[in-house]
Amino acid sequence: MELSRLWVFDFDGTLAPLVPERDQARLHPACLEVLKELVRQEGQQVAILSSRRLEDLASRVQVPGIFLGGGSGLEWRSPDGQHHLPPSGVQERLRSERARLWPFLDQVARLPGIDLEDKKWSMSIHFRGASPDARRDLEAWRTARAMEDGMQIFRGPEVFEVPFLQGAGKVSGLQTLCRILGVDPDRVDMVYAGDDGNDLLAMRWVLDRGGTAFFVGTPCPIEGPHPVEDPSSLAESIRSLLEGKARL
């Protein structure tokens, strides 16, 4: 079957509503139905690309026929169950970078109301429960780390994402997926949907290749993506495309 369109979705905040308890995140029912419909469409390939660990993502997306990418695409699982992992040398780099960055992360962990989530390939710094003073201290920490240490930090809704490996964001994950699929990203029609800074870089990459992007949440901080309010609105927009009520 010739691939005519590649759909790639972030998970948290895009297909699944953001929830205070991260372990309770689930696919929005409307998004679940849209995913099933996309998988049934001839010539369509569907992937979910998340910063969550692959095994965590797989436990939340039990829809046959979908590629799943964990660690922003450092790990992939194809619909037939095959795992695509980075070379062994990457694991050694990961251990080294985790050790190097841990003292900086320990600093921010001491701020009141800050919650760290270890995702193996990255660390999420959740500040939903932080006070205004703690948020100011966190922003100062973020600025200092970016300027003094070159630390890459992505902004999301009430969270900062710190990849342990430089350059290992969702753009790299998309490139890996295209290699796995054996498709030229400049020749396949791509649609990407997400809601944070890591996703915005991926959206620019897709848009630069003539693709389409959806930003979940308003306002969208860049030009180009179609803004939608929430996962339910995203599902409605995708369904309109499938039913021919809207055009890419």
- Residue 143 pLDDT exceeds 70: yes
* Mean pLDDT along residues 66-78: 98
**pLDDT confidence bin for 247, thresholds 50/70/90:** low
Tens digit of pLDDT for each residue in 191-210?
A: 999 999 999 999 999 999 99
Q: What percent of the chain has pLDDT over 70?
A: 98
Mean residue pLDDT across the chain: 94
- Residue 245 pLDDT exceeds 80: no
pLDDT of residue 150: 84
**pLDDT confidence bin for 1, thresholds 50/70/90:** low
**pLDDT confidence bin for 148, thresholds 50/70/90:** confident
- Residue 49 pLDDT exceeds 80: yes
pLDDT of residue 241: 83
Look at the block and give the residue holding tokens 């897709």. 206
pLDDT of residue 21: 87
What is the distance between the alpha carbons of residues 62 and 64, in angstroms, rounded to a whole number? 6
pLDDT of residue 243: 79
pLDDT of residue 246: 55
pLDDT of residue 167: 85
Q: Which domains does the chain have, with CATH numbers?
A: 5-86+168-242 (3.40.50.1000), 89-163 (3.30.70)
- Residue 248 pLDDT exceeds 80: no
How far is residue 73 from each of residues 8, 10, 91, 97, measured CA to CA in Å? 11, 11, 14, 18
- Residue 74 pLDDT exceeds 90: yes
pLDDT of residue 133: 96
Task: Confirm whether pTM is higher than 0.75.
Answer: yes
